[in-house]
């Protein structure tokens, strides 16, 4: 799995809830992970498939190979970029948690001792 | 392989293409799923920088792969047809001159980006030409020659159509009529631009016909979203006219 999502910091009573779409963010991480996996499978599969057409030669093959090389490079680039995209989602969730802790602290400061903090998977 | 010679095992090439398209389908499902959840995340008020761009790039990559694998399929079809013409069944490596192969291959561009670039370039040149005076038949011929590959390429066709628009088509056909037909195309038997509402989803089909003095049989094409009227059957042209069809399936907004 790309990018481990942090456990959600829940608002304590009387604290403002920091809005963050946790379920959607998790779904994005899952989708990015799936995309990365399928991209890898695609590249591997194509490498094996190319053994089928060792006898294909000529001008059309040259044109195919040129485009093929470009797309393989693009796919490789996409594989490299997927991690940072997932990290950006995780960072946004981490920021939301940090802000929620501040809100919780503020609420705790106002209410005095005895206020419970919560954390969970949301 | 010497220049001007090509070879392939048509069946293996067709299988290669099909396996590529299967991989494309799997990747397209992932790209669609990613686009959906990224859209939901943005819709929930949390657009992550670079995420939408990444998703678009992935979708674009999938379309590029599909385009390339369809190119391979078209080449396989060409080899198979060429082999069949001399009694071969396509189960062995077939070697042929490019000139012979060209008679059986109807293939666009391997690279979708090249198809787009060429279509944009051509559309811009057509627009520029429409704004000029003194266009010759050679100018028109040169333009049409640049559709040699593109007319078999749906990406080229769509890009060209979107770029030039209906008005561009009408202007182009008018110029062709003025330049290449006797008496400026004052021939009531010939329909030079045929526009119809083809179906309820807002598509318009446009047929540009160019008259040159040579008797050639006509055929209708209908492949991969690019289609052309059977102008001969529709009685739209006269016997001694070759119809140079550049039929593009134009989709309105």
Minimum distance, in Å, between the CA of residue A105 and any CA atom of chain B: 24
Which residues 191-230 of B have a C-beta within 8 angstroms of A? Answer: none
When pLDDT is averaged across residues B187-200 and rounded to a whole number, the result is 45
Residue A76 structure tokens: 């490789």
When pLDDT is averaged across residues B207-219 and rounded to a whole number, the result is 32
Least confident of A79-93, B54-68, B118-132, B204-218: B204-218
Examine the pLDDT at B104 and tell me if it is beyond 80: yes
Q: Per-residue confidence at A109, pLDDT binned at 50, 70, 90?
A: confident
- Long-range pairs of B130-135 with CB within 8 A, sequence gap ≥ 24: B130/B168, B130/B171, B130/B172, B130/B175, B135/B175, B135/B178, B135/B179
Examine the pLDDT at B162 and tell me if it is beyond 60: yes
CB contact under 8 A, A21 and B40: yes
Say if CB B148 and CB B154 are below 8 A apart: no
Please give the helix or strand (H or E) that residue B212 lies within, else none: strand B211-213
**B164/B182: higher pLDDT:** B164
User: Taking the model in full, what pTM does it have?
Assistant: 0.77
Least confident of B17-21, B87-91, B212-216: B212-216
Examine the pLDDT at B240 and tell me if it is beyond 50: no
Q: Give pLDDT tens digits for A37-58.
A: 999 999 999 999 999 999 999 9
When pLDDT is averaged across residues B143-150 and rounded to a whole number, the result is 90
Tell me the pLDDT of chain B averaged across its residues: 77
Look at residue B40 in the predicted model and tell me its pLDDT. 96
Look at residue B108 in the predicted model and tell me its pLDDT. 96
State how far the alpha carbon of B150 is from the alpha carbons of A65, B33, B63, B205, in Å.
Answer: 19, 32, 17, 17
Look at residue B181 in the predicted model and tell me its pLDDT. 77
Which chain B residues have a beta carbon less than 8 Å from that of A58? 1, 5-8, 98, 101
Q: Per-residue confidence at B187, pLDDT binned at 50, 70, 90?
A: low
Q: Per-residue confidence at B194, pLDDT binned at 50, 70, 90?
A: very low
Look at residue A83 in the predicted model and tell me its pLDDT. 95
Running DSSP on this structure, what letter comes out for residue A13?
T
Which chain A residues have a beta carbon less than 8 Å from that of B71? 60, 63-64, 67
Domain boundaries defined on chain A: 22-86
Examine the pLDDT at B127 and tell me if it is beyond 80: yes
Q: Per-residue confidence at A111, pLDDT binned at 50, 70, 90?
A: low
Minimum distance, in Å, between the CA of residue B225 and any CA atom of chain A: 22
CB contact under 8 A, B23 and A84: no
Look at residue B177 in the predicted model and tell me its pLDDT. 84
B19 at the A interface (CB within 8 A)? yes
Which residues 101-140 of B have a C-beta within 8 angstroms of A? Answer: 101, 105, 107, 109-111, 113-114
CA B225 to chain centre: 8
Look at residue B207 in the predicted model and tell me its pLDDT. 40
Strand A118-120 relative to strand A8-10, pairing: antiparallel
Look at residue B203 in the predicted model and tell me its pLDDT. 39
Instruction: Report helix angle B51-85 to A59-111, nearest 10.
Output: 160
Alpha helices, H only, B10-153: 10-43, 51-85, 98-102, 112-130, 137-145
Tell me the pLDDT of chain A averaged across its residues: 91
Say if CB B122 and CB B143 are below 8 A apart: yes
User: Which residues 6+ apart lie within 8 Å of B77 measured at CB?
Assistant: B14, B105, B106
ipTM computed for the complex: 0.88
Q: Is B42 exposed, middle or buried (0-12, 13-18, 19+ CB in 10 A)?
A: middle
Task: Give B205's strand partners.
Answer: B196, B249
Of A56, A70, A81, the CB nearest to B54: A81
B28 at the A interface (CB within 8 A)? no
Look at residue B90 in the predicted model and tell me its pLDDT. 74
Look at residue B131 in the predicted model and tell me its pLDDT. 84
B68 at the A interface (CB within 8 A)? yes
CB contact under 8 A, B50 and A75: no
Say if CB B125 and CB B114 are below 8 A apart: no
Least confident of B135-139, B150-154, B209-213: B209-213
Chosen from A8, A59, A60, A69 to mutate, greatest number of chain B CBs within 10 A: A60
Residue in the structure block whose two tokens are 């102008």:
B231
């Amino acid at each position: 799995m790309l990018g481990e999502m942090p456990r959600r910091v829940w608002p304590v009573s009387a604290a403002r809830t920091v809005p963050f779409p946790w379920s959607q963010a998790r779904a994005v991480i899952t989708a990015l992970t799936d995309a990365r996996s399928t991209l890898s499978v695609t590249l591997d599969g194509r490498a094996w498939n190319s053994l089928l057409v060792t006898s294909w030669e000529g001008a059309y093959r040259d044109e195919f190979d040129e485009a093929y090389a470009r797309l393989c490079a693009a796919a490789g680039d996409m594989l490299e970029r997927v991690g940072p995209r997932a990290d950006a989602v995780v960072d946004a969730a981490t920021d939301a948690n940090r802000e929620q802790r501040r809100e919780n602290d503020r609420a705790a400061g106002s209410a005095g001792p005895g206020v419970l903090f919560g954390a969970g998977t949301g | 392989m010497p220049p001007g010679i090509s070879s392939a095992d048509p069946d293996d090439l067709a299988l290669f293409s099909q396996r590529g398209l299967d991989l494309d389908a799997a990747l397209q499902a992932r790209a669609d799923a990613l686009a959906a959840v990224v859209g939901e995340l943005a819709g929930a008020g949390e657009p992550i920088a670079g995420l939408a761009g990444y998703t678009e790039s992935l979708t674009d990559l999938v379309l590029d792969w599909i385009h390339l694998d369809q190119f391979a399929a078209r080449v396989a079809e060409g080899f198979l047809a060429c082999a069949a013409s001399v009694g071969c069944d396509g189960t062995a490596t077939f070697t042929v001159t490019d000139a012979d192969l060209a008679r059986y291959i109807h293939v666009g561009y391997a690279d979708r980006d090249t198809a787009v670039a060429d279509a944009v370039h051509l559309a811009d040149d057509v627009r520029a030409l429409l704004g000029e005076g003194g266009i010759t038949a050679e100018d028109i011929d040169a333009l049409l020659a640049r559709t040699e590959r593109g007319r078999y390429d749906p990406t080229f066709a769509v890009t060209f159509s979107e770029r030039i628009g209906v008005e561009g088509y009408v202007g182009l056909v008018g110029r062709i009529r003025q330049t290449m037909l006797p008496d400026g195309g004052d021939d009531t038997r010939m329909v030079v631009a045929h526009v119809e509402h083809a179906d309820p989803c807002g598509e318009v089909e446009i047929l540009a016909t160019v008259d040159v003095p040579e008797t050639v049989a006509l055929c209708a094409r209908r492949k991969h979203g690019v289609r052309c009227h059977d102008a001969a059957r529709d009685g739209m042209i006269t016997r001694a006219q070759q119809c140079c069809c550049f039929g593009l399936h134009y989709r309105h907004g």
